Structure 1
Amino acid sequence: MKRWGGVEYVIGIDGGGTKSAISIADLRGNIILTEYGGSTNIRAQEESQVYDALKSLIGNAVEHAGLNIEDCKAICIGSAGAGRKEEQEVIKDYVKSLGLKGNIVITNDAEIVIAEMTGGREGIAVIAGTGSIAYGIGKNGERVRVGGWGHIVGDEGSAYYIGLEAIKAALRCYDGREPYTHLLPMLMEEIGIATPEEFVRFVYRKDIRKSEIAALAKVVDQAHKKGDNKAKEILMDAAEQLFLLAKAAIRGIKAEQDAIMVVVSGSVLINNLLVYKEFVKLLTKEYPNVTVEKAKADASRGAVIVALKSIKLI
C-alpha cells in the first residue's frame, strides 16, 4: 500500500482482556481506520504477550492506513490493566520502543468510555465485568477512582462477586443453613461436579482463574428467571453495590446537583437486565438530574478524543 509521508494523525486503543480495538484519526478527529486485535491488558497476560499484541495491533493498523509511524502525533491506550502508575510506565515504554515519537497517554478504560460517550466532557463511568470500578471526571478536570481493588478485597457487584456469592449460597443451602435454592444443582451442572463437596476443589485449586468464577454470574441470572429468590437477592445486592460505587464517584467530583451522564459498561450492567434496572432505579432516585447510558462496545474512538485533547486539538 502507498504510504502518505507527512500525514499527521493520532491513535486510540481500547485495550481489553480478550480483544483490543484501535482507531486512527486525522488531527480533526475524522476516523481513518478501525481494526481489532488480541488482548493488550497487562493484568490479563504476560508482559511479553502484551508487547507482541501492541506491536502487531499498531503496526498492522498504521500499515493498512498507509501511514508512517513517525507521523503519529499522539496515542492514547485505555485499558483495565493500566489503572496505576507502574503499569502505565511499562506500557509507555513498550509504545516508545515501537518508534512512536508523539505524545503518549496511558490511562484506564473508564476514562476512554467517558470520552466516547460525552465527547470528552465530564461524566461518570461504572464498569462491572469480571471486576468492578467507578471513575469520575469533573467540570474542572478533577478525577476520582472508586473501587477496582481486585477480587479478594473488592470488585463488589462484579460478575466475580455474583458468582462467588452464588457458590456460598449453594453451600449454605446444602448445609441446611438456608432454604433451598436452584443455584445448588444449577451451579453443579455448570461446573461439572457430582457432589457439593467438589465445590471446594473447584474454588481452591491453584490454577483457578477469576473468569471461571465470573462466568457463573450467568447461572445466577438463569436461576432468577426461574423464580429463585436467592438468585434475585444476589443480583439486587450487586446492583446496590454498583450504585454505591457510582454514588461515591458523583460525590467525589461534587456533581450531586449536576445534570451529569453516568455511562455503564461491562457484562453485568450491559447483559443483566435486573441488575441494570435496579441500578438505574437507585441512582435516579438519589440523583434525579443524572442520565444513564450504556457504553458502546468499542471505546477506541474515546481514546482518540483523549489523544487529541492531550495535544490540545480539542
Structure 2
Amino acid sequence: MSYVLGIDGGGSKTVCILMDGSRKVLGRGEAGASNYQSIGIEAAFLSIRCAVNTAVIEGLKLTDNIKIEAICFGLAGVGRSQDTEVVKNIFEELKSSQFLPIDWAIHPSNIVICNDALIALIGGIGNNIGIVVSAGTGSIIFGRNSQGKPKRVGGWGYILGDEGSAYKIAVAGMQAALKAYDGREILTRIIEDLQQHLGLASIEDLIEVIYRRGWGVKEIAALAPIIDAAAAQGDEVAIKIIDEAVEELVKATSTVVDAIFSPREFIEVVTTGSVWQSKCNMREKYVASIETRFPSVKVILPRHEPAYGACLLALKKLVGEKEI
C-alpha cells in the first residue's frame, strides 16, 4: 500500500494528514504555525515535524509499517524559488529526524511544494477549478480555470497586504479604539472590550501589550473576534471595520473572476479560514455581495480541509492522475 503526507502550514497552525492510495485518511496531526516568513525556519520545521509525527503515530494504530512515497507541502508564504529551497531543506531534516517512525521512499519528483492557497482550493472544492477565498490570520484569493490558468490576488503578508484578514481586522480595531480614546473618532465599545479581554487598567496599557511583550502576527490576529463580537452587538465603529474587510475580499474575488473566467461561466468559490466564523454575518454579507455581482458564482463551504487537498496533490504525483 502506498502512503502520502499532506501538510497545510499557515500563520496560526499546521495540519498534516496521512492518506493511503485509496484516499482513506489514516491519521491527522496538528501543531503550531509554520509560516517561516514570520516565525523563522527552525520554528516552522518543529511545527511541521510535530504535526507529521502525530499523524503517523495515529496511522500506526491501523497499519504496521508506513512507507511514505509522496509528500505535499502547502505552506503560507511560499511562492518564490528561494522558498522552494527552504522547504526542500526542511524536508531533508524531516527525513533525517530520529523522532519520526517513518520509512521514507520518496523520489524527488514526488515532492510537491506550493502555496497553501492551492491546497485550500483543491481540498475545499474537491478539484482544482474554481476560487478559494482564504481569510484567516492572513488572506489570499486564488483561482484556477478549466484551461489551467491561475490567478492570485493578495497574499502579500501582514505589512504589505492581507486585507480582510484577522490580523488586519484586529489592527483596525485597536487603531479605532485609540483614536476614540484620543477624541479623534466616535466612541466605541471596542475600548472596553479590549481592556476586559486583556486585563488592562486603561486602554493606554495596550502599548505595553503590543510593543513590549513581543506579540507577533498570530497573537494580534487572535484579537479579531473582539471586534467581530462588538459588531454583532451593534457597535457602529466595529461594523464599519467588518464591512470594509468584506468589501476588500469581494474586490479581490471580483478581480480573479474577471481575470480568468468568462462572464456567464459557472464558478464555485470556497471560503476558508477563521474569519468566516464571524458572529456578525460577515460570510453572509460576502455571499450576498459576490453572488449579486456575479449570478453565475456559487459560494460554498469547504468539502474537505486544505491538508486533504495537499494529500490529493501528493497522490496525483504518485499515481499520475490527469485530474484530481
> What amino acid does structure 1 have at the position aligned with 2:89?
D
Taking structure 2 as the reference length, what is the TM-score of the superposition? 0.84
Residues 224, 50 of structure 1: alpha-carbon distance in 2 compared, 3 angstrom cutoff: closer
Query: 2 CA distance for matches of 1:196 and 1:178?
Result: 15
- Which residue of the other structure, out of 11, 18, 24, is the alignment partner of 1:23? 18
Taking structure 1 as the reference length, what is the TM-score of the superposition? 0.87
> Are the equivalent residues in 1 in contact too, given 2:34–2:48 (CA < 8 A)?
no
Residues 206, 184 of structure 1: alpha-carbon distance in 2 compared, 3 angstrom cutoff: closer
> Are the equivalent residues in 2 in contact too, given 1:259–1:289 (CA < 8 A)?
yes
Partner of 1:101: 106
Query: 2 CA distance for matches of 1:257 and 1:290?
Result: 9
Query: 1 CA distance for matches of 2:47 and 2:208?
Result: 34
Q: Could you report, residue by residue, the CA deviation over 1:37-80 in whole angstroms, capped at 9, with x for unpaired residues?
A: 324614254423433444454466557143353xx442212122
Q: Could you report, residue by residue, the CA deviation over 1:139-177 in whole angstroms, capped at 9, with x for unpaired residues?
A: 121222211111122111111111111112112212222
What secondary structure is seen at the aligned counterpart in 2 of 1:30?
coil
* Aligned length, in residue pairs: 304
Q: Could you report, residue by residue, the CA deviation over 1:207-239 in whole angstroms, capped at 9, with x for unpaired residues?
A: 121123212211112212222111111111111
Residues 111, 255 of structure 1: alpha-carbon distance in 2 compared, 3 angstrom cutoff: farther
Partner of 1:199: 206
Partner of 1:12: 6
State yes or no: 1:304 paired with 2:311: yes
Query: 1 CA distance for matches of 2:272 and 2:156?
Result: 17
State yes or no: 1:176 paired with 2:183: yes
Residues 37, 196 of structure 1: alpha-carbon distance in 2 compared, 3 angstrom cutoff: closer
Partner of 2:42: 48
Query: 1 CA distance for matches of 2:35 and 2:137?
Result: 15
5 Å-filtered alignment, 1:142-221, equals: 142-205=149-212, 207-221=214-228
Query: 2 CA distance for matches of 1:42 and 1:157?
Result: 19
What is the aligned-residue RMSD (CA, Å)? 2.4
Partner of 1:4: none
Residues 83, 255 of structure 1: alpha-carbon distance in 2 compared, 3 angstrom cutoff: farther
> What amino acid does structure 2 have at the position aligned with 1:89?
E
Q: Could you report, residue by residue, the CA deviation over 1:240-298 in whole angstroms, capped at 9, with x for unpaired residues?
A: 11111211222232344321111111111133442111111111111111111122573
State yes or no: 1:235 paired with 2:235: no
Q: Could you report, residue by residue, the CA deviation over 1:88-118 in whole angstroms, capped at 9, with x for unpaired residues?
A: 3222233245144231001122211211233
Note the C-alpha offset of 1:12.
2.1
**Which deviates more from structure 2 when the two are superposed, residues 303-312 or residues 59-68?**
59-68
Partner of 2:27: 34
State yes or no: 1:67 paired with 2:60: no
> What amino acid does structure 2 have at the position aligned with 1:10?
V
> Are the equivalent residues in 2 in contact too, given 1:235–1:274 (CA < 8 A)?
no
Query: 1 CA distance for matches of 2:27 and 2:205?
Result: 45
Query: 1 CA distance for matches of 2:281 and 2:306?
Result: 25
What secondary structure is seen at the aligned counterpart in 2 of 1:116?
helix
Residues 277, 92 of structure 1: alpha-carbon distance in 2 compared, 3 angstrom cutoff: same
Residues 67, 227 of structure 1: alpha-carbon distance in 2 compared, 3 angstrom cutoff: same
What secondary structure is seen at the aligned counterpart in 2 of 1:151?
helix
**Which deviates more from structure 2 when the two are superposed, residues 191-200 or residues 215-224?**
191-200
Partner of 2:251: 244
Query: 1 CA distance for matches of 2:302 and 2:221?
Result: 20
Note the C-alpha offset of 1:126.
0.8
Note the C-alpha offset of 1:206.
6.7
What secondary structure is seen at the aligned counterpart in 2 of 1:152?
helix
Residues 253, 96 of structure 1: alpha-carbon distance in 2 compared, 3 angstrom cutoff: farther
Structure 2: gaps spanning 5 or more residues: 96-103
> Are the equivalent residues in 1 in contact too, given 2:164–2:248 (CA < 8 A)?
yes
State yes or no: 1:139 paired with 2:146: yes
